[in-house]
Amino acid sequence: MHSAITSAMGLRCTARVSRTFATVPGMKKVAIVGSGTLGSQIAFQTAICGYDVSVLDISQDAVDKCAAMHKAFAASFVARQGGAQARGWVGIADEYGGDAQAAADATLARLSYTTDAAEAMDGVDLISESVPENTEIKLATYGPLHKHAPAGAIFTTNSSTLLPSQFAEVTGRPERFMALHFANGIWDFNVAELMGHPGTDPKVYKQVQKFTDSIQMVPILIHKEQNGYVMNSLSVALMTAAQDLVVRGVASPEDVDRCYMLTPVGGPLGPFGLMDMIGLRTVVNVNNLWGKVLSDQHIGQQMLANGAFLQENYLDKGKLGIMTGNPATDTAEGFYTYPNPSYMDPDFIAIKK
Amino acid sequence: MHSAITSAMGLRCTARVSRTFATVPGMKKVAIVGSGTLGSQIAFQTAICGYDVSVLDISQDAVDKCAAMHKAFAASFVARQGGAQARGWVGIADEYGGDAQAAADATLARLSYTTDAAEAMDGVDLISESVPENTEIKLATYGPLHKHAPAGAIFTTNSSTLLPSQFAEVTGRPERFMALHFANGIWDFNVAELMGHPGTDPKVYKQVQKFTDSIQMVPILIHKEQNGYVMNSLSVALMTAAQDLVVRGVASPEDVDRCYMLTPVGGPLGPFGLMDMIGLRTVVNVNNLWGKVLSDQHIGQQMLANGAFLQENYLDKGKLGIMTGNPATDTAEGFYTYPNPSYMDPDFIAIKK
Write the ipTM. 0.91
Q: What is the DSSP string of B17-55?
A: ------PPTT--EEEEE--SHHHHHHHHHHHHTT-EEEE
C-alpha R_g of chain A = 21
Phi, psi (5° rounding) for residue B216? 60, 35
Kindly report, residue by residue over B125-136, the tens digit of the pLDDT: 999 999 998 899
Phi, psi (5° rounding) for residue A192? -135, 130
- Three-state DSSP at A282 gives helix
Average of per-residue pLDDT across B262-268: 93
What's the burial of B225, exposed, middle or buried (CB within 10 Å: 0-12/13-18/19+)? middle
pLDDT tens for the 353 residues of chain A, in order: 344 444 434 333 333 333 456 899 999 999 999 999 999 999 999 999 999 999 999 999 999 999 999 999 999 999 998 777 899 999 999 999 999 999 999 999 999 999 999 999 999 999 999 999 899 999 999 999 999 999 999 999 999 889 999 999 999 999 999 999 999 999 999 999 999 999 999 999 999 999 999 999 999 999 999 999 999 999 999 999 999 999 999 999 999 999 999 999 999 999 999 999 999 999 999 999 999 999 998 999 999 999 999 999 999 999 999 987 888 899 999 999 999 999 999 889 887 65
Q: Least CA distance to B353: which residue of chain A?
A: A19
CA distances from A305 to A132, A226, A247, A248, B209 (A): 26, 25, 8, 9, 31
Residue in B230, B263, B350 closest to A255 by CB:
B230
Task: Tell me the angle at which helices A231-247 and B231-247 cross, rounded to the nearest 10 degrees.
Answer: 150
Q: Mean pLDDT score of chain B, rounded to an integer?
A: 92
Contact residues on chain A for B273, CB-CB shorter than 8 A = 264-265
Q: Which amino acid is at B294?
A: L
- Three-state DSSP at A28 gives coil
Q: How far is Cα B149 from Cα B145, in angstroms, rounded to an integer?
A: 6
Q: Do B264 and A277 touch (CB under 8 A)?
A: yes
Which residue of B259, B306, B336, B353 to mutate against A (max A Cβ within 10 Å)? Answer: B259
Q: How far is Cα B353 from Cα B340, in angstroms, rounded to an integer?
A: 22
Strands A52-56 and A111-114: parallel
Kindly report, residue by residue over B138-176, the tens digit of the pLDDT: 999 999 999 999 999 999 999 988 999 999 999 999 999
Handedness of CA B216, B115, B324, B253 (dihedral sign): negative
Residue in A11, A224, A244 closest to B250 by CB:
A224
C-alpha R_g of chain B = 21
Q: Which residues contact B227 (CB under 8 A, 6 or more apart)?
A: B161, B163, B233
In chain A, which ranges are continuous DSSP H helix?
3-10, 37-48, 60-79, 100-110, 117-121, 135-148, 202-214, 231-247, 253-261, 271-278, 280-293, 298-313
Q: Which residues contact A311 (CB under 8 A, 6 or more apart)?
A: A284
Q: How far is Cα B209 from Cα B161, in angstroms, rounded to an integer?
A: 20
* From the candidate CATH numbers 3.90.550.10, 3.40.50.300, 3.30.70.360, 1.10.1040.10, the one assigned to the domain spanning B231-347: 1.10.1040.10
Domain A232-349 belongs to what topology?
N-(1-d-carboxylethyl)-l-norvaline Dehydrogenase; domain 2 (1.10.1040)
Residue in B185, B262, B268 closest to A191 by CB:
B262
Q: What spatial distance separates the first Cα and last Cα of chain B, rounded to whole Å?
A: 33
- Three-state DSSP at B259 gives helix
* From the candidate CATH numbers 3.10.129.10, 3.30.420.40, 3.40.50.720, 3.40.50.2000, the one assigned to the domain spanning B3-222: 3.40.50.720
Contact residues on chain A for B191, CB-CB shorter than 8 A = 258-259, 262-263
Q: Do B251 and A234 touch (CB under 8 A)?
A: no
Gap from B236 CA to chain A (nearest CA, Å): 9
pLDDT of residue A3: 40
What are the boundaries of each domain within chain A?
3-222, 232-349
